[in-house]
Amino acid sequence: MAATLVRGGTVVTEDGRRRADLLVRDGVVAAVGEGLEAPAGAELVDAGGCFVVPGGIDPHTHMQLPTMGTVVADDFLSGTGAAAAGGTTTILDFVGPERGQSPLDALAVWQGWAARSTVDYGFHMTVSWWGSGFAAEMAPLVRSHGISSFKFFLAYKGGLMLSDEEILEGFLRCRELGALAQVHAENGELIAFLQAKLLGEGRTGPAAHALSRPPELEGEATLRAITMAETVDVPLYVVHVSAAQAADAIGGARQRGVKVVGETLPGFLAIDDSVYSSSDFDQAAGHVMSPPYRPKGHPEALWRAIETGALTVTGTDHCCFTKAQKRAGLEKFTLIPNGCGGVEDRLHVLWHLGVNGGRLTPERFVALTSSNAARAFNLWPRKGSLAVGSDGDVVVLDPERTRTLSARTQHQRTDFSVWEGRTVKGVVVHTLARGRHVWADGDLRAEPGAGRFLPRPPFGSVYQRVS
């Protein structure tokens, strides 16, 4: 019987904190309390002076994704190893069918890749095309394969973008099946117009990427998606919220009682669009993602949205490329692969900026990094909790230790980091993933295939619990 006793820490959940030991046995939390005895043969983890929190859930990653003529730099093994090193023990990744490809066939491909994961994983399905064939396969995806969330794109005209009519049909299908509708909310029509205009004016560099996707376009698309979801009464999850206008739309809808959840990313809380004015192509292109980093003022507005409860979930949109891969867009910003890394950095950055910065209590940190995502994606209380019976996903965080984030020392498989040179205080020293000690003070024990697939049931009557 494998057991680990995490001793002498302050155990924190979204509900509160207390000095306690925590025993994990056979992969689940077996006891939480003072002065627990270590069973014979148990591994001891010293958490003195540290916080003990649930393993992070990153509900937004892209491992191994083929996109824009290349493949994302992290595969499921390297990416989940990086996750473990940063205290994340569950990822939810996006299956991406090709146009016209059966989503069930695409799922089989992703399942094959993800079998090498070192932490637990689940999937969302990207609705990369629409038609009766896609709608039909959503039923077995939800009912037999545990895929209960579907991402719709209002952007990427000529690619992933669907019409409002198609999105509405997709939302209705989600409602029928008890699935959660997710949206990438930017106005793709206007982006295409601005891209063509900027290129026509000779604006080919990475700075034009942000100019082609202004915050107003995210605000408009977010409100449109909410209006559609509200009209057909389907719960909605807005991914990677970067703009104040989008956060306002979500906050307003939540106040009216609309079932909408907003996710933001650490980068959007700390980095602004000045990164695109660098004369160093690698620097500017390294930050190219969609939506882009926003003008000054937006990060602050997103923090306020977290404080008011408009935004309740954080992910990373981990989608990393090397500098060489980004150089595909040297001549034309629209060819720069979209995406940045971060699965390894989220807990560190949020603790440092949030808890040390006086914006988050440790309890709210837990809610934002695991518990709220667990609820939104129907993993609660197996994940995002340290109650007896929950999975033994446990992080020991030393609030006094510091670390300087850098591409040179990260486990993410890229030579770039949006956090390069930033020193954070509050460091993940141990990570247990279903009881396995996967990160032990600098020692990454990423075991290929140790992660398990997490089928997620549809919501049905649980709709009300989306929070």
Binding region for ligand URP (CB under 6 A): 62, 184, 240, 289-290, 317, 319, 338-339
58 binds Zn ion (CB under 5 A): no
Q: How many other CB atoms are there within 10 angstroms of residue 68's CB atom?
A: 18
- Closer to ligand URP by Cβ: residue 74 or 391: 74
Q: Which stretch binds Zn ion (CB under 5 A): 83-91, 110-118, 162-170, 310-318?
A: 310-318
Record the tokens describing residue 293, joined without a space: 């980093």
Q: Which residue has the closest beta carbon to ligand URP?
A: 338
Helix 215-232 with 164-177: angle, nearest 10 deg: 50
Min separation Cβ 214 and Zn ion, Å: 17
186 binds Zn ion (CB under 5 A): no
User: Across the strands, what pairs with 25?
Assistant: 3, 28
Collapse the DSSP code of 400 into the 3-class scheme (helix H, G, I; strand E, B; otherwise coil) and give the result. Answer: strand
Place of tokens 């394969």: 145
Residue (of 407, 411, 409, 410) closest to 420 by Cα position? 407
Record the tokens describing residue 370, joined without a space: 């695991």
Residue 368 backbone phi and psi in degrees, to 5: -75, -25
145 binds Zn ion (CB under 5 A): no
The item of ligand URP, Zn ion, none sharing an interface with residue 54, based on CB under 5 to 8 Å by kind, is none
The item of ligand URP, Zn ion, none sharing an interface with residue 259, based on CB under 5 to 8 Å by kind, is none
Record the tokens describing residue 29, joined without a space: 């939390």
- Closer to ligand URP by Cβ: residue 10 or 316: 316
* DSSP designation for 369: I
Position 317: which residue type? D
Record the tokens describing residue 192, joined without a space: 């295409």
Residue (of 300, 320, 303) closest to 65 by Cα position? 320
Whether residue 135 contacts residue 451, with contact meaning beta carbons closer than 8 Å, is answered with: no
Among 317, 391, 393, 398, binds Zn ion (CB under 5 A): 317
- Closer to ligand URP by Cβ: residue 290 or 410: 290
184 binds Zn ion (CB under 5 A): yes
- Closer to Zn ion by Cβ: residue 317 or 345: 317
- Closer to ligand URP by Cβ: residue 318 or 382: 318
The item of Zn ion, ligand URP, none sharing an interface with residue 339, based on CB under 5 to 8 Å by kind, is ligand URP
Q: Which stretch binds Zn ion (CB under 5 A): 20-28, 179-187, 389-397, 436-444?
A: 179-187
Min separation Cβ 271 and Zn ion, Å: 17
Can you give the binding site for Zn ion, defined by CB under 5 A? 184, 317
